[in-house]
């Protein structure tokens, strides 16, 4: 794992916000056909703000690290702000990934956006 940057290793060894959430307001999932990794995000929303974000990732160290970072980046953001988190923002924050792992930077934001879409559909269904 010597090819991972320090920040990736930090979030892989000590992931923050890892685990499932009871009764989340939204659940999102993203997978990667290249390596088979899967990420699920759980969000709790209050007053249009993500007050809690958790994740579960099955995959390589980079996928776990990215999920942890995305959960931190999204917590306490408005829904609109969280929707702006993308792979470029993640890669800038994580200070880069090895070229063969750059696809991992897309899964976290995709799962987060999917969880937000799930939340919005539930709110809309309630009317």
Please, which residues have CB within 8 angstroms of residue 114's CB and are 6 or more apart in sequence?
A: 27, 28, 29, 30, 41
Asked if residue 47 lies in contact with residue 25, where contact means CB atoms within 8 angstroms, the answer is no
Q: Which residues are catalytic?
A: 35, 104
Rounded CA-CA distance 86/7 in Å is 18
């Amino acid at each position: 794992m010597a090819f991972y940057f320090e920040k990736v290793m930090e979030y892989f060894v000590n992931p923050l916000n890892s685990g499932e959430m009871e009764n989340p307001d939204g659940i999102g999932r993203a997978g990667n056909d290249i390596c088979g990794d899967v990420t699920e995000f759980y969000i709790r929303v209050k007053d249009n703000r993500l007050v809690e974000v958790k994740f579960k990732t099955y995959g390589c160290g980079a996928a776990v690290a990215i999920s942890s970072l995305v959960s931190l980046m999204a917590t306490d953001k408005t829904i609109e702000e969280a929707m702006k988190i993308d792979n470029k923002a993640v890669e800038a924050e994580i200070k880069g990934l090895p070229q063969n792992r750059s696809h991992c930077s897309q899964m976290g934001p995709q799962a987060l956006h999917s969880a937000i879409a799930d939340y919005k559909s539930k709110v809309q269904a309630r009317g």
